[in-house]
């Protein structure tokens, strides 16, 4: 027969073994769950990648490889009366289809609303977006998204449309400029005036032209990278 000390020692030893076993089981369970989650993530990523492949061949390269940004600032030209462009298009009110932010994102197939500095906010509050469509289809889908600070000394003006760069009546960038590379997408960036940048690029078959006023170069790049996602 065991003495009480021997029995106590045996019981504490059994307890320690039990705890180690419990820890191992817990670890194994966590490992199994983690593996399963990883598998799910890989499967989801694979599925996402495959589904995107069907909509745009460009995206494959954009999403699969990380890239370092290379920023080149060119010179941009402000459009004046002497070099003004004409739209030569009649937009009929009856053809206008109003859209909210969610509709717009759905229409363009990508999130076109960037992350902007905290002092800037959307003045339109999501109103006034839309496309013009007649019986032949969409004939004008250029939209403008504006962000301003409280005294309008800082602003972001985004013009966008599908499949091409939007029509511009404000600034012009030479298409032969050396492009910056942001998240593997070529971006034509120019300086319009002091602290006034302009950037043009096509991402996921959507053409963007963005004019930044009063923003630093870092803030500008940050806004662009929030649109061009890796």
Partner 1 sequence: MDNGASSYRRFLNGDENGLIEIIRDYKDGLIFYLNGIVRNIHTAEDLAEDTFFKIIIKKPKFSEKSSFKTFLYTIGRNIALNYMKKNSKGSEEFIDDYSQLLYEEENLEASYICEERKILIHRAMKKLKSEYFQILWLTYFEDLSNKEASAIMKKSVHNIETLVYRARKALKEELFKEGFSYEDL
Summarize as ranges the residues that interact with partner 1 (CB under 8 A): 1-2, 4-5, 7-8, 10-12, 14-15, 18
Dist CA 137 CA 158 (whole Å): 24
Dist CA 103 CA 130 (whole Å): 9
- Beta carbon of residue 26, minimum distance to partner 1 (angstroms, whole number): 15
Following DSSP, what letter does each residue of the chain receive, concatenated?
Answer: ---HHHHHHHHHHHHHHHHHHHHHHHHHHHHHHHHHHHHHHHHHHHHHHHHHHHH-SHHHHHHHS----B--EEE-EE--GGG---------GGGEEEE-HHHHHHHHTS-------TT-EETTTT-SEEEEEETTEEEE--EEEEEE-TTSSSEEEEEEEESSPPP-SSEE--TTSPPEEETTEEEEEEEEETTEEEEEEEETTEEEEEEEES--HHHHHHHHHHHS--
Residue that is written with structure tokens 């319009």 in the block: 192
Strand partners, 206: 162, 203
Rank residues 19 and 106 by Cβ distance to partner 1 and give the closer one. 19
Rank residues 11 and 127 by Cβ distance to partner 1 and give the closer one. 11
Rank residues 5 and 176 by Cβ distance to partner 1 and give the closer one. 5
Rank residues 2 and 86 by Cβ distance to partner 1 and give the closer one. 2
- Beta carbon of residue 2, minimum distance to partner 1 (angstroms, whole number): 7
Rank residues 14 and 24 by Cβ distance to partner 1 and give the closer one. 14
Rank residues 14 and 123 by Cβ distance to partner 1 and give the closer one. 14
- Beta carbon of residue 101, minimum distance to partner 1 (angstroms, whole number): 56
- Beta carbon of residue 218, minimum distance to partner 1 (angstroms, whole number): 55
- Beta carbon of residue 24, minimum distance to partner 1 (angstroms, whole number): 16
- Beta carbon of residue 10, minimum distance to partner 1 (angstroms, whole number): 6
Rank residues 15 and 75 by Cβ distance to partner 1 and give the closer one. 15
- Beta carbon of residue 3, minimum distance to partner 1 (angstroms, whole number): 9
Dist CA 121 CA 150 (whole Å): 9
């Amino acid at each position: 027969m065991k003495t009480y000390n021997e029995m106590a020692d045996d019981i504490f030893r059994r307890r320690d073994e039990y705890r180690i076993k419990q820890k191992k089981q817990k670890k194994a369970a966590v490992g199994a769950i983690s593996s399963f989650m990883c598998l799910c993530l890989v499967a989801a990523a694979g599925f996402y990648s495959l589904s995107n492949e069907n909509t745009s061949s460009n995206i494959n390269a954009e999403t699969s490889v990380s890239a370092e940004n290379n920023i080149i600032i060119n010179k941009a030209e402000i459009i004046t009366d002497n070099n003004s462009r004409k739209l030569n298009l009649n937009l009929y009110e009856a053809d206008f289809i109003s859209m909210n932010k969610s509709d717009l994102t759905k229409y363009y197939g990508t999130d076109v609303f960037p992350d902007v500095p905290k002092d800037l906010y959307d003045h339109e509050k999501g109103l006034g977006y839309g496309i013009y469509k007649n019986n032949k289809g969409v004939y004008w889908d250029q939209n403008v998204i504006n962000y301003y600070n409280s005294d309008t000394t800082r602003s972001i003006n985004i013009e966008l449309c599908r499949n091409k760069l939007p029509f511009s009546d404000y600034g012009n960038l030479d298409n032969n400029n050396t492009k910056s590379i942001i998240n593997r997408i070529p971006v034509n960036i120019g300086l319009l005036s002091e602290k006034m940048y302009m950037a043009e690029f096509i991402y996921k078959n959507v053409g963007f032209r963005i004019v930044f006023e009063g923003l630093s170069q870092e803030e500008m790049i940050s806004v662009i990278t929030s649109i061009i996602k890796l």
